[in-house]
Amino acid sequence: MAKKMTITSIKKSKGQHPLVMITAYDAIFARLLEPSADMILVGDSLNMSFAGREDTLSATLSQMIYHTNAVANGAKNSFIICDMPFGTYTNKEDALKNSIKVFQESSADALKIEGGEDKAEIVSHLCSNGIAVCGHIGLLPQAFRSEGGYKVKGKTNEERDQLIIDAKAIERAGAFCMVIEGVKSDVAAEVAASVKIPVIGIGAGKDVDGQVLVFSDMLGLFEEFTPKFVKKYLDGASLVKEALKNYADEVKAREFPQDIHTY
Ligand code: KIV
């Protein structure tokens, strides 16, 4: 069994080897992906993939704690990051109170916070109070409604400059790594090179310090839409549907259960 990653080994991986991060929301999938992932992210994307909502904004703290515990039960040897949901870190006091709640009520190793320069003071407050923070810059899913959709970043010089400012601010604030989402690949590469902590990409090209994908996207289970940056490593939905149809057909034909399934 591989050794569980720590804040130190995650930071040290920069320039050594790319980090593999995958999301999980429950114990079954956490157990399955544990051997392949350096870090498991309990993303608030669960509000879409698991709960069937349109965006991540209505995810709650208790939902995130519940799923983080489920994932921890399935992947006892993994470094687990819990996403702080929308509205739970709008100021330093709330951010710390809510982060302490997550740390006390779950076995999360770290929390993830969306935002750059604008959230640096909050990240710094959490880090100086014993909370390990993973940043998240670039396309911010929690800004979906305020920005009127998912907007790829790094298309202008201003956006490029701001992303570098964001990454440096989050690093200075004490984060041990950060996610960079939906950013032009050349700009994401520049951002990764501008800081000493690992920058994990999603929709940000290959020249960063690791990759993260949502498990239900990469396994082809989420059929509603597939972003350009997702590679489907399995046609999960078709396989599951075929298995379910086989079961239904056999029940209707009285072919299941057979003697070997019978007491
Ligand atoms: O919620 C999530 O799954 C995420 C990833 C897309 C990075 O934040």
What lies within 8 Å, CB to CB, of 132 at 6+ separation is 7, 109, 110, 111, 176
113 lines ligand 1 (CB under 6 A): no
The residue whose CA is least distant from atom 2 of ligand 1 is 43
Angle, in degrees to the nearest 10, between helices 185-194 and 157-173: 30
What are residue 83's DSSP bridge partners? 112
**Span 77-126, pLDDT tens digits:** 999 999 999 999 999 999 999 999 999 999 999 999 999 999 999 999 99
| Residue 159 annotated as catalytic | no
Q: Which residues of the chain have pLDDT under 70?
A: none
99 lines ligand 1 (CB under 6 A): no
Residue burial 186-222, b: 16+ Cβ < 10 Å; e: rest: ebbbbbbeebebbbbbbbbbeebbbbbbbbbbbbbbb
85 lines ligand 1 (CB under 6 A): no
179 lines ligand 1 (CB under 6 A): yes
Tell me the best of 82, 180, 212 to mutate to test the pocket of ligand 1, counting ligand atoms within 8 Å of each CB and taking the most: 212
**Span 128-151, pLDDT tens digits:** 999 999 999 999 999 999 999 999
Q: What is the pLDDT of residue 98?
A: 98
Which is nearest to 58 in space by CA: 79, 72, 44?
44
Q: Which candidate in 181, 224, 242, 250 is catalytic?
A: 181
Distance CA 197, CA 107 (A): 23
Atom of ligand 1 nearest to the CA of 43: 1
Distance 12 CA to ligand 1 centre (A): 23
Distance 214 CA to ligand 1 centre (A): 7
Which is nearest to 136 in space by CA: 197, 64, 48, 58?
197
Cα–Cα distances in angstroms (integers) from residue 117 to residues 74, 99, 213, in the given order: 35, 20, 25
List, by residue range, all CATH 3.20.20.60 domains of the chain: 7-232
CATH placement of domain 7-232: 3.20.20.60
Q: What is the pLDDT of residue 28?
A: 98
Q: What is the pLDDT of residue 223?
A: 85
Q: What is the pLDDT of residue 226?
A: 86
214 lines ligand 1 (CB under 6 A): yes
